[in-house]
Amino acid sequence: MFTNSTRNLDESMNDDALFVLEDSEPSYGLNRSATAGGRRDSGANNNTEDMRPSSVVMLRQTNQFDENGANVQGGDEKPSWWENTSHSQPKSCTEIIQALIHVSILVAVPLAILLGAYYSDNQILPYVYSFFVAFASYEFAWVAYRVRVHVFLPFKLYQKQTSRDIYTQIMAYSVDLQTCAVTPLAERFLSGHKVLSACLFGVLGGAISLVVCLLLSLELFPMAYIVMSIALLFICAALSPNLPDAVAMALRYVYFFVASLNVVLMLQQPAQAIERDHEVVGLNPFSLALIAVSLLLINRVLSSKEIMESMVQALLDMAGLLYISCVATVLNSFSLSPIVVFGKVSSSTGSNGDEETQSSSNYSVLLAFFVIVWSADLGRFLTEKFLKFIDFPWNHAIAKRVSSRQNVETLIGALAGGVIATLVVADYVDFRSNKNVVACLTAVAVVLSHATKLFLLSLKKIAKMSSSGSTLASVGGGVLDHMDTLLFMAVVFCPFFERHADV
């Protein structure tokens, strides 16, 4: 184990390393170049001292300077096309093809989900949301961990302690950035293959959940959803930074899983799905959120050695739970609405007790919400790529201290994508309201969602991360980078649909 950890440490000291150790011989108050270059410069260099101690530990600022000498503070503050002072050069054929491939992938993903939802009566949607939430929670665990490292390590290094203690702390943090919760078992049994070990944990969790579902005699659809969710939970928890972060990640995802399980089980009972007082799972989202918050606080109190560090980590856990709770709120709000039925024909009970058949639109409101959110993010992404491709010279940043890439230009692209998608899906989904009103709500939600992006960008800037992960590396960043649009869009849309559910 020690050999593999040492190898990971050596790899971490390359260009992507967080810390640099520089050892130099003591100069005894004189500049070495002065004594080696002769006595004629001794008068000028007698007072020149090498201020570096024999062992200096420096926090390295990743990507601190670009090729033009501009100061870059890491994270999302890489030089954008607006800040590039070099002359515009014609794009090569490879760059054009690569840009087209990225755009095609980003367009193909929602189209594939739309086709799958259409031919499966929208029953594929819970699987899609579960996949996104699992990896978003995993990515947020790493963002929060790196924020904690960058915030608290400088304070620890300034404390009065020996050089050996400082060296030990630096080594521990450097190794931790290259390891995860499953690393000790992976190094012991699988030669350090962390992903393979996490997948084996996922298979184990899925097998256990399958046995439990068979004992409970569940239907095929909820059984498949439970097995997939538990497998994703074990995989993402195993790849979390450490055991306490794995527990926090698992608690966030379990909250979403329990909240969404009510929707999944209702799919097998369409006649009861429209009853607002009927819930398969007896806990409402608010009660689940309180339980999740309590367990997260207990986890940090028991696992952290320092009070201040545990409190900061607990606040970050609350922020991560806020992202997950938005998706759960969307699912529960739509599940309680009579206009939300995953099939193409919904059933409702009239006042005389007879079952009336109500013709539903081709797509549910849940699918429409997914299309609107993805289209808004797609509009922002395509606008950013297009402006970069043509070397657009202007940039009107919303919050320049946080990021120059969140600007008025990309906001206009997101507004266009969201509003156009709303007007299109309004012809297929019965919103029970004028589509122009829904389009205005979409515009308000898109504007508010940019505030959420600025919050996540602030965390990534502190953590010195350009993206939350590499799950969707082909289309830019991780799942959390695209899913953060849900936050304020859910806040705007859910009360609207709950209000019109009674119409």
pLDDT of residue 255: 86
Q: Is the pLDDT of residue 66 over 60?
A: no
pLDDT of residue 135: 86
- Report the percent of the chain where pLDDT is more than 90: 7
**Alpha-carbon gap, residue 437 to 27, rounded angstroms:** 74
Give me 41's structure tokens.
């410069």
- C-alpha torsion sign, points 64, 67, 71, 76: negative
- Report the percent of the chain where pLDDT is more than 70: 57
Q: Is the pLDDT of residue 344 over 60?
A: no
**Alpha-carbon gap, residue 70 to 73, rounded angstroms:** 10
Q: Is the pLDDT of residue 69 over 60?
A: no
Q: Is the pLDDT of residue 197 over 80?
A: yes
What's 302-362 look like in SS3?
Answer: HHCCCHHHHHHHHHHHHHHHHHHHHHHHHHHHHHCCCCCCCCCEEEEECCCCCEEEEECCC
Cross-strand bridge partners of residue 314: none
- C-alpha torsion sign, points 116, 120, 124, 125: positive
Q: At what angle do helices 365-389 and 307-335 cross, to 10 degrees?
A: 120
Q: Is the pLDDT of residue 57 over 50?
A: no
pLDDT digits (tens, 9 = 90+) for 347-405: 444 444 444 333 344 346 767 777 888 788 888 888 887 887 777 777 777 777 777 77
Residues 6 or more apart from 416 whose CB is under 8 A from it? Answer: 379, 383
pLDDT digits (tens, 9 = 90+) for 92-146: 677 677 667 766 766 777 777 777 766 776 677 778 878 888 888 888 888 888 8
The residue among 468 and 138 whose pLDDT is bigger is 138
pLDDT of residue 388: 79
**Alpha-carbon gap, residue 79 to 65, rounded angstroms:** 9
pTM of this structure: 0.70
pLDDT of residue 7: 46
The mean pLDDT of the chain is 69
Q: Where are the chain's structural domains?
A: 1-9+123-360, 19-59, 73-119+363-503
Q: Is the pLDDT of residue 447 over 60?
A: yes
pLDDT band with cut points at 50, 70 and 90 for residue 471: low
pLDDT of residue 19: 41
pLDDT of residue 218: 82
Helix residue ranges per DSSP H, 340-434: 365-389, 408-425
The kind and range of the H/E element at 345 are strand 345-349
32-41, 398-407, 434-443: segment of lowest average pLDDT = 32-41
pLDDT of residue 15: 40
Average pLDDT of the segment spanning 76-87: 44
pLDDT digits (tens, 9 = 90+) for 259-280: 777 777 766 554 444 444 444 4
Average pLDDT of the segment spanning 70-97: 51
pLDDT band with cut points at 50, 70 and 90 for residue 205: very high
The residue among 89 and 4 whose pLDDT is bigger is 89
pLDDT of residue 202: 92
pLDDT digits (tens, 9 = 90+) for 422-437: 888 887 777 777 888 8
Average pLDDT of the segment spanning 168-191: 74
